[in-house]
A and B are shown apart, each in its own frame.
Chain A
Amino acid sequence: MSFPSIQLIKPLVFIACLGPFAYLLYATLLDPEMLGANPVEYLLRRTGDWSLRFILIVLSVRPLRQITGKAVLLKYRRMMGLFAFFYVTTHFSIYAFLDLQLDWSHIGEDIAERPFITIGFLAWLLLIPLAATSTRAMMRRLGKRWKSLHKLVYLIAILAVSHYIWLIKKDLREPLIYAAILIVLFLLRTPYVQRKLA
Chain B
Amino acid sequence: MLIKKPADIKPSEITDKSIYDQRRKFMQAGIGLTGAAMVPGLWLPADVQAAREKMKGVVKSPLSTSKKPTSYKDITSYNNFYEFGTGKGDPVKYAHTLKTTPWTVKVEGEINKPGNYHFEDLMKGSSLEERIYRFRCVEAWSMVIPWVGIPMAELLKRFEPNSRAKYVEFTTLYNPKQMPGQKRAVLDWPYVEALRIDEAMNPLTIMAVGLYGEVLPNQNGAPMRLVVPWKYGFKNIKSIVKIRFTEKMPSTTWAEAGPREYGFYANVNPKVAHPRWSQAKERIIGSGSIFTSKKKTLMMNGYEEQVAHMYKGMDLRKFF
Point out residues on A near B: beta carbons under 8 Å.
28-33, 35-41, 43, 98-101, 106, 109-110, 113-116, 166-167, 169-171
Contacts and interface: CB of A to CB of B under 8 A. Distances in A.
A22 B208 CA distance: 43
Contacts of B184: 171
A56 to B, nearest CB: 22
Contacts of B258: 169
A28 B290 contact: yes
B162 to A, nearest CB: 37
15 contacts: A31-B6, A32-B289, A37-B78, A37-B286, A38-B88, A39-B289, A40-B290, A43-B290, A98-B290, A99-B294, A109-B278, A114-B276, A114-B277, A167-B276, A171-B86
A40 B283 contact: yes
Given A30-B4, A43-B290, A38 B276 contact: no
Interface of B: 1, 3-4, 6, 73-74, 77-78, 82, 86, 88-89, 139, 141, 184, 186-187, 257-258, 273, 275-278, 280-281, 283, 285-286, 289-291, 293-294
B281 A38 contact: no
A61 to B, nearest CB: 32
A36 B273 contact: no
A161 to B, nearest CB: 16
Contacts of A98: 290-291
Given A30-B4, A37-B77, A170-B82, A100 B285 contact: no
A-B residue pairs, 3 tightest by C-beta: A37-B78, A171-B86, A37-B74
Nearest to A39: B290
A40 B258 CA distance: 26
Given A37-B74, A170-B187, 11 more contacts: A28-B290, A31-B4, A37-B78, A38-B285, A39-B290, A40-B290, A41-B141, A106-B278, A116-B276, A170-B82, A170-B86
B74 A101 contact: no
A23 B294 CA distance: 25
Contacts of A28: 290
A116 B258 CA distance: 16
Contacts of A114: 275-278
Given A30-B3, A30-B4, A36 B78 contact: yes
The dominant DSSP class at the A interface is helix
A35 B290 CA distance: 10
B140 to A, nearest CB: 9
A180 B177 CA distance: 30
A113 B273 contact: yes
Contacts of A37: 73-74, 77-78, 88, 285-286
A106 B281 contact: yes
Contact of A36 (B89, B139, B257, B291): B89
Contacts of B186: 170-171
A29 B285 contact: no
Contact of B290 (A32, A166, A169): A32
Given A28-B290, A32-B289, A98-B291, A41 B283 contact: yes
Contacts of A109: 278
A98 B283 CA distance: 11
A33 B281 CA distance: 23
B261 to A, nearest CB: 8
B286 to A, nearest CB: 6
A46 B273 CA distance: 25
Contacts of B187: 170
Best-buried of A32, A37, A99, A101 by chain B (most CB within 10 Å): A37
A33 B290 CA distance: 11
A139 B96 CA distance: 59
B77, B257, B276, B289: which has the most chain A beta carbons within 10 Å? B276
Contacts of B290: 28, 32, 35, 39-40, 43, 98
A55 B281 CA distance: 32
B276 A170 contact: no
A33 B73 CA distance: 11
Contacts of B294: 99-101
Most B CB atoms within 10 A — which of A30, A35, A41, A109?
A: A41
Contacts of B276: 114-116, 166-167
A26 B145 CA distance: 31
A28 to B, nearest CB: 6
Contacts of A115: 276
Nearest to A171: B86
Nearest to A110: B278
A35 B286 CA distance: 11
